[in-house]
Amino acid sequence: MKERDYRQYKGVWALGEVRDGEIHPVSFELLAWGRGLADKLSVDLSIVIIGSHIKDKVKELIPRGADKVYVIDHPALEHFRIDPFSAILTTMVEEYKPEILIASATSMGRTIMPVMAVKLDAGLTADCTGLDIDLEERLLIQTRPAVGGNIMATIKTPVLRPQMSTVRPKSKRPLPVDHSRKGEILVKEFSGEFLTSRVKRLAFIREEAIGAPIQDAEYIVAFGKGLKDSKHVELMKELAQVFNGSLGASRNATDLGWISYSHQVGLSGKTVSPRLYIAAGISGAVQHLAGMSSAEIIIAINSDPDANIFGVADYGIVGDLFEVIPLLIKKLKEKAKEA
């Protein structure tokens, strides 16, 4: 391990993301996390954006909290590939020496940050749900669930730099847009071997889904093992469609193969924070709650009045989901017709 003189390392950096040519909202969430850290440390907050044809798009990052935006814009960087992205970012971190580097725990963040940690010989705390600063020691406090979600671990990186973390998408709301904020946009050029990759992108095949991806959904209808059989997923789809919502599931439901893993909510699935979360036939294990308890309104439907899920629910319906859900669909459809 390379111990570094950490007085040389200054500033908070976030790694933004581009999807389909647009700045992805996780970049704004990272800026909200980073702004809090940078203000406590009295340093700049910078964001790095790597992509193609994005120079015009990056302006929106300053009103969202960035002091500096580093842009690397090249057609070869249209899609995330580990070789060029990690080579560029490693070089920049070695040049500018930020004390903290955060990324989102998306597929990109989860892929690039471990590679970067090895390249930089630094520590990484993955999948954090909270970040703060210990001002006395000037250290990043990284909080994440551990031991199967039963405890929250607080992790510090006292020796290595930068201190690196990935944070769960949706674990913080973006800051309100503030057009009076001032900042700098710095374009960095990379060429030659920085742009080469051992990976060739052949195609992108989007999974057929009901509604938006759950991490972006405003309404989620989720089911667990109480659904009893994959054939009943149709019933849940019908309810989701009434809301124009998305389907979520417990790990038991995904493990049984009733729906794909991308719908799993919880510690080893996705974190969601929709306006409405309906949990049907889900017991409410701590690992499930870790992914959904920040939903604005939670409605639980469970035949067991002692089910744990009722502890986090705003509204609880004790009953058989096969009776409750058809009634709910009927009522909602009637309401929709009246409107």
Ligand X SMILES: Cc1cc2nc3c(=O)[nH]c(=O)nc-3n(C[C@H](O)[C@H](O)[C@H](O)COP(=O)(O)OP(=O)(O)OC[C@H]3O[C@@H](n4cnc5c(N)ncnc54)[C@H](O)[C@@H]3O)c2cc1C
303 is a site residue for ligand X (CB under 6 A): yes
* Min separation Cβ 328 and ligand X, Å: 13
Residues in the chain: 339
CB of 215 to ligand X, least distance (A): 13
Nearest approach, Cβ of 26 to ligand X (angstroms)? 19
Cβ contact 89:103 at 8 Å = no
- For residue 39, the surrounding DSSP H or E stretch is helix 26-41
167 bridge partner residues = 104, 128
Q: How many CA atoms lie within 13 A of 311 on its CB side?
A: 10
Among 163, 252, 271, 273, indicate the residue that binds ligand X (CB under 6 A). 252
* Segment lying near ligand X (by CB under 6 A), choices 132-140, 166-174, 275-283, 326-334: 275-283
CB of 279 to ligand X, least distance (A): 8
Q: Which of these ranges, 33-41, 77-85, 260-268, 330-338, lies near ligand X under the rule CB under 6 A?
A: 260-268
- Is 271 a binding residue for ligand X by CB under 6 A? The answer is no
CA distance 88 to 96: 12
Distance of alpha carbon 91 from alpha carbon 94, whole angstroms: 5
214 belongs to the binding site for ligand X (CB under 6 A): no
Q: In the structure encoding, which two tokens stand for residue 72, read together?
A: 């690397």
Peptide bond into 162 cis (omega under 30): yes
What is the contact mask toward ligand X in residues 219 to 238, using x (rule: CB under 6 A)? -----xxx------------
Contact yes or no for 116/89 (Cβ under 8 A) = yes
What SS3 state is found at 264?
strand
Residues touching ligand X, count (CB under 6 A): 29
Q: How far is the CB of 280 from ligand X (least distance, A)?
A: 6
Indicate the residue among 76 and 286 with the shorter CB distance to ligand X.
286
Residues 6+ apart with CB under 8 A from 208: none
What is the closest distance, in whole angstroms, from the C-beta atom of residue 283 to ligand X in the complex?
3
Q: Which is nearer to ligand X, 125 or 302 (CB)?
A: 302
Residues whose CB falls within 8 Å of the CB of residue 76, separated by 6 or more in sequence, listed in order: 52, 84, 195
Tell me: does residue 248 bind ligand X (CB under 6 A): no
Distance separating alpha carbons of residues 68 and 49, to the nearest angstrom: 11
Which residue in the set 307, 312, 313, 328 belongs to the binding site for ligand X (CB under 6 A)? 307
Report the DSSP pairing between strands 276-280 and 297-302: parallel
Q: Mark the segment that binds ligand X (CB under 6 A) among 15-23, 123-131, 169-177, 316-324.
A: 316-324
Q: Hey, which residues between 143 and 202 contact ligand X (CB under 6 A)?
A: 148
Element (H, E) at 322: helix 321-338
User: Bridge-partner residues for 14, per DSSP?
Assistant: 47, 102
Q: Which of 46, 215, 283, 294 binds ligand X (CB under 6 A)?
A: 283
Near ligand X by CB under 6 A, which window of 80-88, 100-108, 164-172, 318-326? 318-326
Beta-carbon-side half-sphere exposure of residue 82 (alpha carbons within 13 Å): 13
Least Å distance, CB 331 to ligand X, is 18
215 binds ligand X (CB under 6 A): no
Say whether residue 326 binds ligand X (CB under 6 A): no
Helix (H) or strand (E) holding 126: strand 124-128
Which residues contact ligand X (rule: CB under 6 A)? 148, 224-226, 250-253, 264-269, 281-283, 285, 287-288, 291, 301-304, 307, 320-322
